[in-house]
């Protein structure tokens, strides 16, 4: 090569090719064809070897300028193409936030669990701790220690489920009430005692208000000066808090349980007007009472069986059916539906998990 290359024309040709590249791939092809090992500028550079002195210097300078300009143009165009590609991708991948979410199934809290939680929260506020005992009990804890000796008619009244006879002739039972937890608590702790025992209980019984398995909550307080005023105040406060009715009438009616003396059944005010049962204060109508629990001062013999000196300590106890108070509070007519495991029923009568008012005041 002996002449100075016409770089002006070369430059405009190359710049036009750069501008015309409409994709990053096309631009890369242009770059290789210009600056690659066999590219057009590279080839021209090699041709400089045939020039002499000043001419070679001048040609080299102008070629280098063209190279710089084309390189700059490629970089600038590359940025534009990259921005355009990103725009296109973002436009293609937009999320339509107006699309409704697909409903997801939520679990519901069973009314029995809900009622149990509410009871625990109320008694927790009063300073009670939760105690537990086994569902399968021995005769001593379910009966004898509760002052129900073998020939006592209460044993028949309880419709007990017995397990098969053991080698020593004794039979374990499915506990017929939560009262055996009273004995177990006394055996395992010293007064002052202030516990509640929620749990499953079993009796061979089945109709609209009885199921073979049901739930009770038991309370036991033992201290040196515990008296019936404490029992009454505690039960009245509980009933009013649980049903959310500040002036709910509560009545104590003399009764009999082998493990308490004196014993009282507890009734709450209600109305049966129009054949509909409603809990509350409806004035002084004669028969508008509903029995909801058994209660009494712990029998001295029971304290003794529990290893507590009845000359020094006294206490009160009460027990009630959780399923029953749940039916009353939530307006559920048939107890058996609690245990049908029907999801439609549960989604209607169940509670949203966040609605469990555990440990909050003012239920």
Binding region for ligand PHE (CB under 6 A): 177, 179, 218, 257, 260, 294-296, 317-319
Distance CA(110)–CA(221), nearest Å, equals: 29
φ, ψ for residue 253, nearest 5 deg: -115, 130
Q: Which is nearer to ligand PHE, 306 or 319 (CB)?
A: 319
Q: Which is nearer to ligand PHE, 111 or 294 (CB)?
A: 294
Q: Which is nearer to ligand PHE, 117 or 218 (CB)?
A: 218
298: which 2 tokens? 């712990």
State in angstroms the smallest separation of the CB of 186 from ligand PHE.
13
239 close to 248: Cβ distance less than 8 angstroms: yes
Q: Which is nearer to ligand PHE, 154 or 277 (CB)?
A: 154
280 close to 271: Cβ distance less than 8 angstroms: yes
Q: Which is nearer to ligand PHE, 83 or 157 (CB)?
A: 157
Q: Which is nearer to ligand PHE, 67 or 158 (CB)?
A: 158
State in angstroms the smallest separation of the CB of 201 from ligand PHE.
7
The residues that bridge with 266 in the sheet, in sequence order, are 252, 293
State in angstroms the smallest separation of the CB of 295 from ligand PHE.
5
47: which 2 tokens? 């041709």
State in angstroms the smallest separation of the CB of 276 from ligand PHE.
27
Give the end-to-end CA distance of the chain in Å, rounded to a whole number.
100
Q: Which is nearer to ligand PHE, 214 or 349 (CB)?
A: 214
State in angstroms the smallest separation of the CB of 261 from ligand PHE.
10
The answer to whether the peptide bond before residue 271 is cis (omega within 30 degrees of 0) is no
Give Rg (Cα) of the chain. 44
State in angstroms the smallest separation of the CB of 263 from ligand PHE.
6
State in angstroms the smallest separation of the CB of 296 from ligand PHE.
5
Cβ atoms within 10 Å of 218's Cβ, excluding its own? 25
Which residues are within 8 A (CB) of 248 and not within 5 positions of it... i.e. 6 or more apart? 239, 240, 268, 269, 279, 280, 281
Distance CA(122)–CA(362), nearest Å, equals: 9
Give the CA count within 13 Å in the CB-facing half-sphere of 329.
Answer: 24
Distance CA(178)–CA(149), nearest Å, equals: 18
State in angstroms the smallest separation of the CB of 96 from ligand PHE.
60
State in angstroms the smallest separation of the CB of 143 from ligand PHE.
11
Closest CA to 48 of 108, 91, 105, 3: 3
Angle between helices 111-126 and 322-330 (to 10 degrees): 100
Q: Which is nearer to ligand PHE, 295 or 314 (CB)?
A: 295
Q: Which is nearer to ligand PHE, 259 or 349 (CB)?
A: 259
**SS3 label, residue 142:** helix
State in angstroms the smallest separation of the CB of 251 from ligand PHE.
16
Distance CA(294)–CA(301), nearest Å, equals: 18
Q: What angle do CA 133, 136, 139 make, to 5 degrees?
A: 95
Q: Which is nearer to ligand PHE, 31 or 177 (CB)?
A: 177
Q: Which residue has the tokens 């009622």?
A: 115
């Amino acid at each position: 090569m002996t002449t100075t290359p016409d770089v002006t024309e070369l430059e405009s040709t190359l710049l036009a090719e750069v501008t015309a590249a409409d994709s990053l791939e096309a631009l890369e092809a242009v770059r290789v064809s210009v600056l690659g090992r066999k590219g057009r500028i590279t080839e021209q550079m090699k041709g400089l070897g045939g020039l002499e002195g000043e001419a070679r210097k001048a040609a080299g300078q102008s070629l280098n300028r063209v190279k710089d300009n084309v390189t700059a143009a490629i970089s600038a165009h590359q940025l534009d193409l990259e921005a355009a590609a990103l725009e296109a991708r973002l436009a293609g991948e937009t999320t339509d936030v107006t699309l409704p979410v697909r409903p997801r199934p939520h679990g519901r809290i069973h009314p029995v669990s809900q009622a149990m939680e509410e009871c625990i929260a109320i008694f927790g506020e009063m300073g009670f701790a939760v105690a537990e005992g086994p569902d399968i009990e021995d005769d001593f804890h379910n009966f004898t220690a509760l002052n129900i000796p073998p020939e006592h008619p209460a044993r028949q009244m309880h419709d007990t489920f017995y397990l098969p006879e053991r080698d020593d002739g004794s039979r374990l039972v499915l506990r017929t009430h939560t009262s055996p937890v009273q004995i177990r608590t006394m055996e395992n702790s010293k007064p002052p005692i202030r516990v509640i025992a929620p749990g499953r209980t079993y009796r061979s019984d089945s109709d609209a208000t009885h199921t073979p398995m049901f739930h009770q909550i038991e309370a036991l307080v033992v201290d040196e000066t515990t008296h019936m005023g404490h029992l009454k105040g505690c039960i009245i406060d509980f009933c009013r808090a649980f049903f959310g009715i500040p002036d709910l009438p509560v009545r104590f009616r003399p009764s009999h349980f082998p493990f308490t003396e004196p014993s009282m059944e507890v009734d709450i005010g209600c109305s049966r007007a129009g054949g509909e049962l409603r809990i509350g204060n409806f004035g002084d109508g004669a028969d508008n009472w509903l029995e909801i629990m058994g209660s009494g001062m712990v029998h001295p013999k029971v304290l003794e069986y529990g290893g507590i000196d009845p000359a020094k300590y006294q206490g009160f106890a009460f027990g009630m059916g959780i399923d029953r108070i749940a039916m009353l509070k939530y307006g559920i007519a048939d107890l058996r539906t609690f245990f049908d495991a029907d999801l439609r029923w549960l989604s209607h009568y169940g509670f949203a998990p966040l609605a469990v008012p555990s440990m909050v005041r003012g239920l």
